[in-house]
Structures are given as structure tokens and as C-alpha cells.
A and B are shown apart, each in its own frame.
Chain A
């Protein structure tokens, strides 16, 4: 009887039993068989014991501390660069509209575990004059009201929002210039890709003095998010 049952219950099935991989009917059948078959019970116990021993053997294993691991070349720096690469790859992967596409639905990104309310990236990607005005009002108000808190503001413009920072196109050219001169903790960033696109289309792109243009908008926003800055799109500013 037992010999027959042991033939039926092959080890693969018994392994599946201890791993909870059998359906209810087969599981019950194994349980029932175990009641009358000590050899079967012993086999299951032995298999189950290997599972317990595996956990004993490796459950307390801990990776070496970095200082104990001379072969490593700053592995956690690799992790950080990995994240940066992932985000850049993400940006490149999505391509095209870049940040213009970015915030169609998400006007406000604050990452609670890292975000710093005193460091804000303001983003604009359209050329509505009321948005220009709202953005500049917000930036100025924020800088004025929090002058003693070490605040920092980056205004990032891309797509048609670039017009805010273009001489001959911006209705607020003088104001942008004045703000940039007045606040050393405010900087304006024109998206390098947006400039390139305009130039390819045959347009001259002249930026207001002190506007930076050595990064793409997405690269800059990603960098700031990694550094713990809070992101706000112009559409969300009225909610403040």
C-alpha cells in the first residue's frame, strides 16, 4: 500500500505540495495520504527541512559593508548615476515633445520624501501672455516673501514658452531682465532643444541677457527633481 502510494507521490509533486503549488484537490489528497503513510510523511518532512535549512543557511546573510569591499568602485555612486541615466534615457525615449508633452496632465509634482518647498522649478511651455504674467508674478512674490529662507527659483521654458525669454518676442523682456538682475537666486533656462528646433525652422533665436541655454528643459527638470526641488507648472500656480 505504502509502496504504491510512494510511487504515486513523486518528489516533484511533493515539492510542489510544500511550496503550495498544488491545487486544492491534490493538496487534500496529499494530506489524506500522509495520515496513513508514515514513509510519505517522512519524505515530505525531509523535503520541507531543506526549505528550512535554506532559510537558515542564507536568511542571515548580509552584503558586505562598502568599506569591507575593496573591489568596488564607489558602487552607490553607480546607483546614483544609474538613476540619472534612467531618467535621461526615459526623457530621450519619449523624445519629441519633451517637456512640452511632459505635463499635459500633471501640473504639479512634489515628491514628498525629497522635495524642498524652498527650491522650486517653474515650468512654462506655452506662450499665453497671462501665463507669462502669472509665472513672473509668482516667482517675484515667492522670492520676495521668502528672501530670508535661502530660496531658489528656476524658470524653465520650452516649446512656445520659450518666447518668454526671447528678445523681440517676449512681452515681459524688461521684467525678465530686471528680475534676473535683482535676484541672484533666480535663473531662467531656455530649453536647448527648443532653440535648436526653432533654428532648424529658420528662425533667429535671441535670448534675453542672463538666460541660460546649455541644457534641455527635461534634463534640467530631472536634475532638479533629483536634487529634491519642487516642480510646478504654470497652470498650477493660481492654486497657490
Chain B
């Protein structure tokens, strides 16, 4: 491939990368539960993506590649935090403010609170599958974990969500209830 062709490809990817901001933000928010941190992570992801875009051989993989960068930034953030902080559940979710009083936004708030209560590794899988419709294989590749782990974390996450969200509504009957929410690391 000629250099100019490479340059053209890089430049042509710029709008696609920049246009991913909102989608990356939603997933980042689900992962970390903090709007400002999510935006920081996304900004860093986009910046890094633009620096490394020439390394992306398959343009069709752009989306998965971006989320894999986001995941690395997120992991890096978690590693850099103070040692005594719990990696799983101490991120404050976006608390409902005065504007979150109408019903729908109340649901939004409840969902975010419930998601924030899940272990971080479950949140990651859940957000990629449910918000971005990634296949299990894609998620495995993005997070660098086996597909089986994707499946187990996903179903634990969903069971956890059901349990957390149903607390205020219909508690599941005994035969429907699954095992208690188990944290996997």
C-alpha cells in the first residue's frame, strides 16, 4: 500500500472515529458510572485511536478496536487508583438530580444505580452486548477473555440486574430465582 493511500485511509477514518464518541460514551458510562470519568476515558480513547489508526489493518474492525482501546484505558484507570479502593462497586453512579424526576428518567436512574452495583467485569460485558450489540466473540476479543467467560459474566450480570431491579417491584419466586449474585473477578 502506498504511503499516500495509507495517509488517505487515516484521514478518512478521522470522521468515523470522532463520530464514535457518543456510543463509546454510553458504554464507558455503563462501565464506570461517572459521566465525567466516562468522557475522559472516551477522549483518551479517541485521541489514542487517532494516533494508532495506521495500525488498524481491517477498517471493518474499527468499532471493536475502539472498544478494546476503551477497555485498556479503563483498566489503566483502575490500576492507577489508590490501592485501598475497591475495584468493583465504589464508583458513584450518576445520582438522580432534580431533572430526573419524571418516570422515565427515574427508570434511567434506577438502571444506572443497579448497573453500578454489578462487578466491573460483568458491567463491561453487559454494556458491550446490550448497548453495542457485539457478538460474544467480539466481546471476547475486545476484552481479551474466553467466550465462555463472556457468557458466564453476562448471565451473572443479567441475573444480578433482575434481582436488583426487581427488589422494588416483583421479587422473583423461588423457582425462578437463580443463585445469589456472585462476583467474578
What residues make up the interface of A, taking CB atoms closer than 8 Å to B?
A: 3, 6, 10-12, 14-16, 19, 21, 39, 42-43, 46-47, 49-51, 53-64, 69, 71-72, 75, 78-79, 81-83, 85-87, 89-91, 93-94, 98-99, 101-106, 109, 111, 113-114, 218, 221-222, 225-226, 231
A residues near B48, Cβ cutoff 8 Å: 82
**Are B47 and A98 closer than 8 Å at their CB atoms?**
no
Count, chain B residues at interface, CB 8 A: 64
Closest 10 CB pairs of A and B: A57-B111, A82-B50, A102-B3, A90-B54, A54-B130, A63-B25, A11-B155, A75-B43, A82-B47, A12-B155
**Are B2 and A102 closer than 8 Å at their CB atoms?**
yes
Q: Which residue of B lies closest to A62 (CB)?
A: B22
**Are A56 and B111 closer than 8 Å at their CB atoms?**
yes
B residues near A98, Cβ cutoff 8 Å: 3
**Are A51 and B7 closer than 8 Å at their CB atoms?**
no
Known: A21-B135, A56-B108, A63-B25. A78 touches B4 (CB 8 A): no
With A21-B135, A50-B130, A54-B115 already in contact, 17 other A-B pairs whose C-beta atoms are closer than 8 Å: A11-B178, A15-B155, A39-B176, A46-B172, A47-B162, A49-B162, A53-B165, A56-B104, A56-B111, A57-B111, A57-B112, A63-B22, A63-B35, A86-B10, A89-B52, A90-B7, A231-B4
Chain B residues 126-166 with CB under 8 Å of chain A are 126-127, 129-131, 135-136, 151-152, 154-155, 158-159, 161-162, 165-166
Q: Which residue of A lies closest to B137 (CB)?
A: A21
A residues near B107, Cβ cutoff 8 Å: 53, 56-57
The contact of B127 among A58, A82, A104, A111, by CB within 8 Å, is: A58
Residue B6, interface by CB 8 Å: yes
Q: Distance in Å from the Cβ of B74 to the closest Cβ of chain A?
A: 15
B residues near A72, Cβ cutoff 8 Å: 39-40, 43
Total CB contacts across the A-B interface at under 8 A:
182
Interface of B is mostly: helix
Interface flags, B12-53, vs A, CB<8A=1, else 0 = 101100100110011101100001101110110011111111
